[in-house]
Chain A
Amino acid sequence: MSAPYDNVVLTAPVTVPYERYSERRANYWLGRALGMLAKTTGLDKKHIDGLSVSSFTLVPDSVASLTQHFGMTPRWICQEHTGGASGITALRKAARAVQMGDADIIACISGDTNPKDGFTNILDNFSTDMSQAALPYGAGGPNTSFALITKAYMEIYGARREDFGKLAISQRDNARTTPHALMQKPLSLDAYMDARIISDPIHLYDCVMPCAGAEGYLVMSEDRARELGLAYVYIRSAIERHNAYANDPVQLRTGLAMDADMLWQTAGLTPRDIDVVQTYDDYPVISFLQLEDLGFCKKGEANIFVRDHDFTIQGDFPHNTSGGQLSAGQAGAAGGFLGIVETIRQLTGTALGGQVANARLGLVSGFGIINYDKGLSCAATILERGQ
């Protein structure tokens, strides 16, 4: 069991409103997130002495070059390359750095730009395995990899497209309360089922819309957050794991399954205690895997769990309450921050859209870096409203 995250908190959730396309650099989107962090907290930027960055389109720049772009002189920097898990892997490192005194206030930011040809560029430069073992097969990108996972999952566990549809539709309902969500039109089950086929069994509304945008939050001591008068959340527990179950022929479980027991034990909580859940939803099946691997239901039974619960903000299992990436859009690596930022808002009573009543405990999980057949990184954290 890892040491508790005492006297360290997350605060100041910010979102730079998403745009479908942008010809600006990633530097712009990341810089806007920093600007919003300073503005919403009233902090002078010289007090932010740590910087953690997650971005796919920042290359050839890095977090070190960004310090010059942003006129910062931090004593702690970190760059996350875990994509959909980066919001949580960033907080794990930043929280420890603050606890140990290596930095006082760390800005964790993530953002990407999305020029018209942006997505093809990300694919071409994603990884050597993707270039060698996936893209030559029709260049379907992640749609191919996730279609294969979804197909095997449906065949083995009996999930139906309607089950994935219910998740997507609930998230659209949630998105419609969230001002910056890109997709605001109601989604019906008929529209979901009849959508254009992308890579069987993946259809249009199983896919996220790539966009530009950024997300961010601050990590600091509880004392500091109090002094500044900021609403904050505690980290009750946090796990990450990479390249788990490497010999599985198809990815029907994530590395979360390896560490879920420790996640709950460290927090002294069970899945029933959680008031609001955010999973990484680049495709609905991945949310299903996370719900199972984290113990909200048994392996292969997420379809039943989804049928039995109401995943909307006012439902009995509020999930992806800002619409998730499926409805808010996927601003590159910022998709891995969406869940953290939204959970800080929900637990501090500052939701931009629908607020879950009396939310005290939230769980966030992330999943990222699909190389050619499997997503390699996963992480989860349990957060609690600060007193």
Chain B
Amino acid sequence: MIKLQVCSDCQNVHYPERDICTSCWSENLLWSEVSAHGTITSVTDLHISAKPQWKDKLPLRLGLVALDAGVNILAFLDSDLCINDKIVLCMDNGIYSATLKSEN
């Protein structure tokens, strides 16, 4: 599970952070646990960064994740992940990364 803002009135899930519910405009957004499962919808290997602090870490494998809970999240990917892979997302200090969902 990961924590995202969920609307208490309509259960809409939000990412990135919102101030009112994008679905019903309620102000009752609560950080709640939602499923960390999702599917990779696109990938890229980033070779050039606009910021010097990334220079030594390039290339980076990044991907867009369609979370089952209904939001899209850009995340760091394990190097072998591809489009359509089922993944589990984890969050550390506000930064998301995805690993392959184990078959079971």
Contacts and interface: CB of A to CB of B under 8 A. Distances in A.
Given A133-B15, A144-B74, A120 B48 contact: no
A138 interface: yes
Nearest to B66: A249
Interface stretch (A56-64, A72-80, A197-205, A232-240): A197-205
Interface residues of A, number: 36
Contact of B60 (A137, A149, A151): A137
A373 B17 contact: no
A372 interface: yes
A249 B64 contact: yes
Contacts of B72: 249-250, 373
B87 to A, nearest CB: 13
B50 A120 contact: yes
A196 B59 CA distance: 13
B47 interface: yes
B47 A250 contact: no
10 contacts: A133-B74, A137-B76, A138-B54, A139-B50, A140-B44, A144-B74, A196-B47, A199-B46, A247-B70, A249-B72
B60 A198 contact: no
B47 A200 contact: yes
Interface string B57-72: 1101011101000101
Given A133-B73, A137-B76, A148-B42, A143 B48 contact: yes
B45 interface: yes
A247 B74 CA distance: 15
A128 interface: yes
B17 A148 contact: no
Nearest to A129: B16
A155 B83 contact: yes
Which of the four size classes fits the interface of chain B? 20 to 34
Interface string A130-162: 001111111111011001110110010000000
B75 interface: yes
Contacts of A136: 94-95
A209 to B, nearest CB: 14
Nearest to B39: A249
B49 A198 contact: no
A148 B43 contact: yes
Given A148-B42, A200-B47, A250 B60 contact: no
B41 interface: yes
B44 A372 contact: no
Given A136-B94, A144-B62, A373-B74, A152 B42 contact: yes
Contacts of B54: 138-139
Interface in B53-104: 54, 57-58, 60, 62-64, 66, 70, 72-76, 83, 94-95
Contacts of B74: 133-134, 137, 144, 148, 372-373
Nearest to B97: A137
Given A138-B58, A139-B51, A151-B83, 11 more contacts: A132-B94, A133-B15, A138-B49, A143-B48, A148-B62, A155-B83, A200-B47, A247-B70, A250-B64, A250-B72, A373-B64
